[in-house]
C-alpha cells in the first residue's frame, strides 16, 4: 500500500498514463468457454464461463476506472475503451487522469486540455472563460484545476494556486480540510485521517480534533466498516478502528514471516508473505490460507492473484474464477478484466 499523505494532484500524477493509437474499434470478438480450477479448500463450485474479446493492437499498459479501460499502445498515446471493446471516441491523448465520478482530465495531440465524460464527449473545456492547464480527479463532486505552470517554495508553506470546480465546470468556494496546518483526508461515515505529509493519524471530523497523534507511517485508506490497516513506527502492521483501538496486531498474529504487502476492502483483508497469502475477515481472523504468492485488493468480491509467476482472478473463498495462466491483468470491474496472455490482450467477461 502507498503511504497516505494526499495533496491535491498527487493521485493524478501517480495514476496518469501515457499513450495509444485509436480506431473506431480495436477489439475483435471471440467467445471461448473456459473451465477454471479451484485453489480453495472449500467445496468445489461449478466451472465458470469465460468470454474473451481479443484486442488487435499491441498494448503496453492497461488500467480501468468507472467502466472505462485505459490502454497504452506502442506509440505512447492513450485510447479509452468501454467494456464492449469499443473506443469511446476517435481521439488520441498524450496525458490522461483516471476517470472519477464520470469525468477525466485529458490532453489531446494538439495540446488541448479539457475534461471528458465516459461517452468520450468534451464536458468541461474552460473554467471562467480560461483554458485549463491541468485538472485533478473529482471527489465528492469537486476537482482542483490550475490555469498555468506555477513555482512554489513548499518549505515556506507556499501552495499551488488551485481553483475548485464542480462537475458543471463552475467555480465554487472550497477549502481543503485542515487542522493546524495538517491536511484532513479520506473522511467518511466511519472515520478520517490527518497528515503532515510524513506521518498520519486518526481524526474526528465531528469534534474537529485528533483522536491520535501522527503515530503511523503507512496504511490503508479510507476506513472500511470502521476498519483500517496502519503501520506504526515500530513497523508493526495493525488493524485499527476509527477510535484508534487496535483490533489486532497482524504482525504478532501471523508470525510465519514479514508481511510484504496488504490490503483491506469491504470484502476482506489480504496479507501477502514471501511465498503465500492469507485472506482474513474484517476482524483480522484468518478465513483462508493459500499458496498464491500474491493477492491484490478485493473489488466487488474479486481479486487478482499470482501463482508460479502467472496471474488469475479469485473470489473471497479462494476459488479461481479466471485461472492463473495470464501475464498481466487489470483490476476487475463489474465482471470484466483486461488481460494478456503472451502477446495477446483480451477483454475477459466472467460469469459465476
- Lookup: cell for 145: 484545476
**Which residue range forms the structural domain that includes residue 231?**
178-253
For residue 158, being part of any structural domain is answered with yes
Q: pTM here?
A: 0.83
Quick one: 165 and 208 in the same domain?
A: no
Quick one: 42 and 96 in the same domain?
A: no
- State how far the Cα of 276 lies from the Cα of 322, in Å rounded to an integer: 19
For residue 26, being part of any structural domain is answered with no
Find how far residue 318's CA is from the centre of its chain.
Answer: 21
Q: pLDDT per residue over 154-177, tens digit each?
A: 677 677 899 999 999 999 999 989
Q: Give me the number of domains the chain comprises.
A: 3
For residue 185, being part of any structural domain is answered with yes
The pLDDT of residue 45 is 53
Q: Of 253, 281, 315, which residue is a domain's last?
A: 253
Q: What is the CA radius of gyration of the chain?
A: 22
The pLDDT of residue 9 is 39
For residue 131, being part of any structural domain is answered with yes
Q: pLDDT per residue over 286-342, tens digit each?
A: 999 999 999 999 999 999 999 999 999 999 999 999 999 999 999 999 999 999 999
Quick one: 163 and 185 in the same domain?
A: no
Quick one: 12 and 93 in the same domain?
A: yes
- Beta-carbon contacts of residue 71 (< 8 Å; ≥ 6 apart): 20, 26, 55, 57, 59, 61, 62, 78, 79, 80, 81, 338, 345
The pLDDT of residue 70 is 94
- State how far the Cα of 246 lies from the Cα of 6, in Å rounded to an integer: 24
Residue 349 has a CB neighbour count (10 Å cut-off) of: 17
Quick one: 223 and 270 in the same domain?
A: no
The pLDDT of residue 154 is 67
For residue 150, being part of any structural domain is answered with yes
Quick one: 52 and 67 in the same domain?
A: no
Quick one: 10 and 44 in the same domain?
A: no
The domain that contains 335 carries what CATH number? 2.40.10.360
The domain that contains 7 carries what CATH number? 2.40.128
Please, are residues 253 and 229 in contact by the beta-carbon 8 Å criterion? no
Quick one: 290 and 313 in the same domain?
A: yes
The domain that contains 245 carries what CATH number? 2.40.10
The pLDDT of residue 221 is 77
- Lookup: cell for 279: 485472506
**Secondary structure of the chain as H, E, C letters:** CCCCCCCCCHHHHHHCECECCCCCECEEEECCCCCCCECCCCCCCCCCEEEEEEECCCEEEEEEECCEEEEEECCCEEEEECCCCEECCCCCEEEECCCECCEEEEEECCCCEEEEECCCCEEECEECCEECCEECCCECCEEEEECCCCCCCHHHCCCCCCEEECCCCCECCCCCCEECCEEEECCCCCCEEEECCCCEEEEECCCCEECCCCCEEEECCCCECCEEEEEECCCCEEEECCCCCEEEEHHHHCCCCCCCEEEECCCCEEEECCCCEEEECCCCCEEEEECCCEECCCECCEEEEEECCEEEEEECCCEEEEEEEECEECCCECCEEEEEECCEEEEEEEEC
Residue 235 has a CB neighbour count (10 Å cut-off) of: 11
Quick one: 226 and 290 in the same domain?
A: no
The pLDDT of residue 352 is 60
Q: Of 253, 277, 300, which residue is a domain's last?
A: 253
Question: Measuring CA to CA, which residue among 22, 17, 26, 23 is closest to residue 92?
Answer: 22
Q: Of 116, 144, 174, which residue is a domain's last?
A: 174
Quick one: 162 and 184 in the same domain?
A: no
Quick one: 3 and 136 in the same domain?
A: yes
Instruction: Kindly tell me the burial class for residue 176, based on how many C-beta atoms sit within 10 Å of its own C-beta (0-12, 13-18, 19 or more).
Output: middle
Quick one: 331 and 262 in the same domain?
A: yes
Cα-based angle 165, 183, 243 (whole degrees, multiple of 5)? 120
For the chain, residues with pLDDT lower than 50 are 1-26, 28-43
Amino acid at each position: 500500500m502507498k503511504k497516505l499523505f494526499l495533496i491535491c494532484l498527487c493521485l493524478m500524477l501517480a495514476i496518469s498514463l501515457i499513450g495509444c493509437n485509436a480506431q473506431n474499434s480495436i477489439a475483435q470478438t471471440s467467445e471461448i468457454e473456459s473451465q477454471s480450477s479451484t485453489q480453495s479448500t472449500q467445496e468445489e463450485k461449478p466451472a465458470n464461463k469465460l468470454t474473451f474479446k481479443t484486442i488487435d493492437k499491441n498494448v503496453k499498459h492497461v488500467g480501468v476506472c468507472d467502466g472505462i479501460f485505459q490502454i497504452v499502445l506502442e506509440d505512447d498515446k492513450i485510447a479509452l475503451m468501454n467494456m464492449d471493446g469499443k473506443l469511446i471516441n476517435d481521439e488520441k491523448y498524450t496525458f490522461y487522469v483516471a476517470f472519477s465520478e464520470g469525468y477525466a482530465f485529458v490532453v489531446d495531440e494538439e495540446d488541448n486540455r479539457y475534461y471528458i465524460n465516459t461517452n468520450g464527449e468534451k464536458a468541461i473545456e474552460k473554467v471562467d472563460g480560461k483554458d485549463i492547464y491541468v485538472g485533478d480527479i473529482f471527489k465528492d463532486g469537486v476537482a482542483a484545476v490550475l490555469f498555468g505552470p506555477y513555482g512554489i517554495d513548499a518549505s515556506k508553506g507556499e501552495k499551488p494556486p488551485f481553483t475548485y470546480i464542480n462537475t458543471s465546470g463552475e467555480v465554487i468556494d472550497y477549502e481543503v480540510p485542515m487542522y493546524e496546518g495538517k491536511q484532513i483526508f479520506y473522511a467518511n461515515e466511519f472515520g478520517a485521517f490527518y497528515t503532515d505529509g510524513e506521518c498520519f493519524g486518526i481524526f474526528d471530523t465531528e469534534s474537529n480534533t485528533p483522536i491520535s497523534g501522527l503515530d503511523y507511517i503507512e496504511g490503508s485508506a479510507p476506513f472500511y466498516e470502521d476498519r483500517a490497516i496502519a503501520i506504526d513506527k515500530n513497523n508493526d502492521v495493525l488493524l485499527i478502528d476509527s477510535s484508534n483501538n487496535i483490533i489486532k496486531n497482524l504482525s504478532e498474529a501471523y508470525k510465519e514471516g514479514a508481511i510484504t504487502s496488504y490490503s483491506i476492502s469491504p470484502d476482506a483483508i489480504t496479507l501477502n508473505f514471501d511465498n503465500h497469502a492469507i485472506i482474513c475477515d474484517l476482524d483480522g481472523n484468518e478465513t483462508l490460507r493459500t499458496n498464491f504468492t500474491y493477492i491484490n485488493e478485493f473489488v466487488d468480491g474479486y481479486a487478482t492473484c499470482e501463482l508460479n509467476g502467472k496471474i488469475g482472478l479469485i473470489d473471497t473463498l479462494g476459488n479461481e474464477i479466471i485461472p492463473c495462466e495470464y501475464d498481466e491483468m487489470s483490476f476487475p470491474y463489474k465482471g470484466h478484466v483486461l488481460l494478456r496472455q503472451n502477446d495477446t490482450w483480451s477483454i475477459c467477461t466472467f460469469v459465476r
